[in-house]
Amino acid sequence: MGGEVFITVQVSVNHVGENQRMFPAPDDVTVSYLDERANRIVPFTDFDFRSPDGTTYVQYVTALDGAQSEGPFPGTEAEGWVIFVLPEDFDETEVEVRIRYDGTEFTWRLSE
């Protein structure tokens, strides 16, 4: 019986429109494995995580808070990471990342 692993999804949003618009919320970013929604890890809002090489990764929710406080107006950007849990022995061909925005859902397969 295997354990669990973390999968991180980088979300980068750049407002290139002409009007003030809200960005996708962290709950609009999901990961599904074998057609079931994976659990999202929600650490403290002010928590960023660091890799063994010392690189710091900002949570998407933290980046989003900063962007939303400014508008978001054209030219505003938010970039960060969303963390999910999968079984240690997951099959990457069965993992999908989805982002819902403005009534549209965008889907990527991890294996592509």
User: Cα–Cα distance between 34 and 86 in angstroms, integer?
Assistant: 11
- Per-residue pLDDT reduced to its tens digit, 2-49: 688 888 888 998 888 888 888 888 889 999 999 999 999 876 656 666
* pLDDT at residue number 65: 76
In sequence order, which residues have a C-beta less than 8 Å from that of residue 93 and are 6 or more positions away?
Answer: 109, 110, 111
Statement: the pTM of the whole predicted model exceeds 0.85: no
Q: In which band, very low, low, confident or very high, does the pLDDT at 1 lie, cut at 50, 70 and 90?
A: very low
* pLDDT at residue number 69: 66
> Number of structural domains, the chain?
1
In sequence order, which residues have a C-beta less than 8 Å from that of residue 39 and are 6 or more positions away?
Answer: 84, 85
User: Cα–Cα distance between 58 and 111 in angstroms, integer?
Assistant: 24
Answer for the pair 111, 42: CB distance below 8 angstroms, yes or no: no
* pLDDT at residue number 99: 94
- Per-residue pLDDT reduced to its tens digit, 45-88: 566 667 778 777 777 777 777 676 666 778 888 888 888 999 99
Q: By residue range, what is the domain housing residue 43?
A: 4-109
User: Cα–Cα distance between 54 and 40 in angstroms, integer?
Assistant: 23
* pLDDT at residue number 89: 92
- The owner of tokens 């994976």 is 38
Answer for the pair 37, 30: CB distance below 8 angstroms, yes or no: yes
Farthest CA pair distance, the chain? 52
